[in-house]
Copies of this chain bind each other. A is one copy, B any other.
Amino acid sequence: METLLSFNDRQVRIGPQHPFVVIGERINPTRRKKLLETMAAGDFSVALDDARNQIAAGAQVLDVNAGVPGADEPKLLADLTRALMQSVSAPLCFDSANPDALQAALALYTGKALINSTTGEEKMLSVVLPLAAKYHAAVIGVITGDKGVPATPEARLEVARKIVQRAADYGIPAEDIIIDCLALTVGADSNAGRVTLDTMRLVQQELGVNLSLGASNVSFGLPDRKSINAAYLALGIARGLTAAITDPTVPELRTTILACDVLMGHDEYSMRWIKSFRAAQKVAAIA
């Protein structure tokens, strides 16, 4: 199954037959003081630098979050979207729990966006899915149900199935739903990683939809989080993960993703691998 995203004439295809798609996570003011302060002042220079740097590091889609405490989020997300559309040409992923903010950004966006996210909860589905249908956007569906995150892969599959079915009720095809199997923290529960990986396999086999992941929660509280997150991406890719919301400017993550593309047959003649290695060598020679 293939999820098409676009911005003007730029298209990005997510699917098991394509290279892995990185959705750059950095344009998010949560826990990033400088980005927060500049965005709060209506200055998008830091956000635009983040956009360019992530694209240079291999991001094909940019997550955009305007959650600045106290700010008018719909206006801020719309303004930031306009600024991004004037500066870079990657499809955008609108990251908000505020329906008015999603509406404001989707209304002015020229292309097929991604919405981050709905859960399987009725109150979310009934708000987010109509917006996706109206603007022909794709949607990330996180497998949280009305009673929270189910414990077993089988119960999580049922939440994913519900999201796909409710989307169909709104005329949204399954290829426009990307399921996030939700990585909980292994530091809190040793089985958290395995349950999510088993859910990925099940959802991929049963529903055939694309899978994404916010790949950094899993390592919360552990040392050397980058290495855990990188290994998690590789394990996920072998289970059907076709995209992730992550930071491609972290070398360990970018390298792992490029290596997986080589090994999954998505980098003919290993051209991107070799090119990336040479670029890193040049940077090292200058430093």
Contact = CB atoms under 8 A, between A and B. Distances in A.
B197 A263 contact: yes
Top 6 A-B residue pairs of the complex, sorted by shortest distance between their CB atoms? A234-B234, A238-B238, A193-B263, A231-B259, A194-B265, A223-B277
Nearest to A222: B270
How many monomers of this chain does the complex have?
2
Contact of A277 (B224, B265, B277, B278): B224
Interface stretch (A105-113, A131-139, A184-192, A206-214): A184-192
B238 A260 contact: no
A68 interface: no
A179 interface: no
A240 to B, nearest CB: 10
B197 A238 contact: yes
* Of listed A190, A231, A232, A256, residue having the most chain B CB within 10 A: A231
A252 B263 CA distance: 17
Contacts of A274: 222-223
B265 A224 contact: no
A235 B263 contact: yes
Contact of A190 (B218, B235, B265): B265
Interface residues of A, number: 38
A190 B267 contact: yes
B262 A193 contact: yes
A239 to B, nearest CB: 5
A30 interface: no
Interface in A202-238: 218, 222-224, 227-228, 230-232, 234-238
B234 A193 contact: no
* Of listed A190, A227, A236, A262, residue having the most chain B CB within 10 A: A262
A218 B223 CA distance: 30
A263 B227 contact: no
A11 interface: no
A103 interface: no
Contacts of A269: 190
Nearest to A267: B190
A268 interface: yes
A273 interface: yes
B191 A263 contact: no
A223 B271 CA distance: 11
A193 B265 contact: yes
